[in-house]
Structure 1
Amino acid sequence: MTYSSKEEAGRDLLRHVDPKHVEDRMYDIIHIEPSVTESLLETVDVPLKVGTDEFGIRYIQCDYNRDGDSFRSPKTNKYYPPLKDGLQLPENLREMEIMANKGFSTYLRHYFDRGTCSVYCWEVDDAAFGVGVFILKDNDDVKFGSDINGSISCTDVCEVRLIDEAKQLFQYTLVSSTIVDISWKCPSFGAPEAPVSMNGSMNDQHVKTARAQSNIEHLVTIGEMVESSSDRFVEKIRQIYVSKMEEILSYMKSNPNGISADALAVHAKAFQNP
């Protein structure tokens, strides 16, 4: 396979890496070829990370709440580790951020039951601002006699740009991504020390125009777009990843005398690349 650029080659390589190892492999590539640093950091999705504030409350750590080596909590509006003169939001965006975190906490309970959700706002330029919704669902649980471990990282970043001041008309550009990394032990399908894994990533973009005269109206529009994107991702996961895993496990179960690694690889390959 030939690539038009080193950046394209790097992204294609990382597309085949287990999500939990993507960040390490990305920095390996950057170490080998520093010229691709900016491109990979901007375009490659990695699983979300969490930090805790002084009260032990978890919050998402990402580029949108980072200043140097410190990260700002949306709850306390402080940086951890403490940072003197850290970047702060204009009052209007901070008010929107507080409102958004309260609203999306309900969304978290409805769609994920539990997890960590943080919403951040930031300035883009005089005519635009950004809102990012970040959710990490830790899936550590024991069900049906199988040990389930892993996580689901959901990132929704929306740029809101004023396109007609007289009509208060805005363009909302939402870029969404989901990273699934789940493994579980199924003694019925081989050795307990060899867990079954399901992992991968998906991304999507959606653009919408709407009128808004207040923070609430902005958040309603963004919330509707995020919810719609989440529904699409759930359906994709169900159709692509879950259905493929069911096919493979069903094939293994139908071979009570065992299945060779080569035979399983051939069967799994038949269900790759939807």
Structure 2
Amino acid sequence: MANTSPEDAALDLFRRLNPDKISKNLDTVLQYRPDLSEVLLSSIDQPLRSERCADSGNQYLLCDFNRDGDSYRSPWSNKYAPALDDGIVPSDHVRDIEVRLNNAMRVYVDMYYEGGVSSVYLWDQDEYYAGAVLIKKGSSDDASGWDSIHVFECLETGEPDKWDYQLTSTIILHMQSSSSSADESKLGLSGQLTRQTSQRLEVSDVYSQVANVGRMVEDMENRMRTFLQEVYFGKTNDVVNAIRSVMPLEEVKENEKRMSNVVSGMSKA
């Protein structure tokens, strides 16, 4: 530990803290070490916040990918709030892809999540463009929430109509049981999962670019959702079943005795 840098130590700390309280913990750490703000804010994914676009009336998500100073750009109007005269915006071609992706992801969220907020932000790069697909779904009482952050970049390969897509996805999940009394204890479950993938895909026009990004996000979310179900929910179910039985204790002991008798009889046969 003597050779560990403050940046590595802080990142290692956040890997062990409750993801449900990551924003509060981040504010606390930065109060004591403001010099780590650039590293931590750019490296640690936080639960997404939403705002409503003044022009379109649609909700959009706030993050570092659409922030310029203290203002945030709406993917629907391409304007910053509070207004900025020199805010960074994508080029016309990239903006066209951004608009199409936002419309596509809005349909995706309605179909898969039955409501929620999605936002897609693209920005120009020397080798074409990169972007982020953000999805937020929460319960009506805000006791549970799902935040998925998919950051990708598109790189030309030198092959005709072939691009390399690199995707890094992070899911922040938190759930808490509701109780009717303040004296009752609540069961909470939270976690954060990050996965990466890359594919070489064919690109012929703007529609194929939208389809490629959408398909990669969909496939990644399906894999991560399955993993979360098996590890988080499956393991929690096993633990709860091991410490609590819905059957009376006498009945459980009687069943165990019968099973023991059956096994003993089979071994003597």
Class of the TM-score when normalised by the shorter of the 2 chains: 0.7 to 0.9
> Given the alignment of the two structures, is residue 180 of structure 1 paired with residue 173 of structure 2, yes or no?
yes
> How far apart are 1:163 and its partner, in Å?
2.1
* Greater share of residues in strand: 1
Equivalent residues, number? 247
Question: Which consecutive residues of structure 2, in runs of 5 or more, have no partner in the other structure?
Answer: 249-269
Distance 1:20 1:88 in 2: 32
TM-score normalised per structure 2 = 0.83
Q: Which residue of 2 aligns with 1:152?
A: 146
Measured against aligned partners, the alpha-carbon deviations of 1:237-265 in whole angstroms (never above 9, x if no partner) come to 111110122123323432899xxxxxxxx
Aligned AA for 1:151? G
In the TM superposition, what whole-angstrom CA distance separates every residue of 1:67-118 from its partner, at most 9, and x where no partner exists? 1111111112221122223222211011111110111111111211110001
Identify the residue that residue 221 of structure 1 maps to in structure 2: 212
Q: Report whether the alignment pairs 1:92 with 2:93.
A: yes
SS at match of 1:47: coil
The one of 231, 236, 244 equivalent to 2:222 is 231
The gaps in structure 1 that reach 5 residues or longer are 142-147, 258-274
CA deviation profile, 1:152-174 (whole Å, cap 9, x unmatched): 0001111011121x513211110
Matches of 2:52 and 2:209, distance apart in 1: 28
How far is 1:23 from its partner? 2.1
1:9 maps to which residue? 9
% identical aligned pairs: 28
For the residues of structure 2 that align with 1:42 and 1:103, how far apart are their CA atoms? 27
Q: What is the alpha-carbon distance in structure 1 between the residues aligned to residue 48 and residue 183 of structure 2?
A: 28
> Distance between the aligned counterparts of 2:35 and 2:80, measured in 1?
31
**Given the two structures, how large is their TM-score scaled by the length of structure 1?**
0.82
| Cα distance in 2 between the residues matched to 1:65 and 1:236 | 30
- The 2-side partners of 1:28 and 1:224 are apart by 38
What displacement does 1:27 show?
3.2
Deviation per residue, 1:218-238 (Å, 9 max, x gap): 121111111111011111111
Counterpart mapping for 1:75-224 below 5 A = 75-125=76-126, 127-140=127-140, 149-164=143-158, 167-185=160-178, 193-224=184-215
Retained in 2: the 8 A contact 1:150–1:182?
A: yes
Partner SS for 1:195: coil
Distance change >3 Å, CA 136–CA 31, structure 1 → 2: same
SS at match of 1:149: coil
Of stretches 93-102 and 239-248 in structure 1, the one that deviates more from structure 2 is 239-248
- Whose Rg is larger? 2
Moved more, 75-84 or 175-184: 75-84
What is the rounded CA distance, in whole Å, between the counterparts of 2:3 and 2:246 in structure 1? 41
Conserved? CA contact 1:108–1:115, under 8 Å: yes
Distance 1:208 1:28, change over 3 A: same
Q: Report the secondary structure of 2:4's partner residue.
A: coil
Shift of 1:66: 1.0
Superposition RMSD in Å: 2.4
| 1:29, distance to aligned residue in structure 2 (A) | 2.4
- Residue 70 (structure 2) pairs with residue 69 (structure 1): yes
In structure 1, distance between residues paired with 2:182 and 2:34: 42
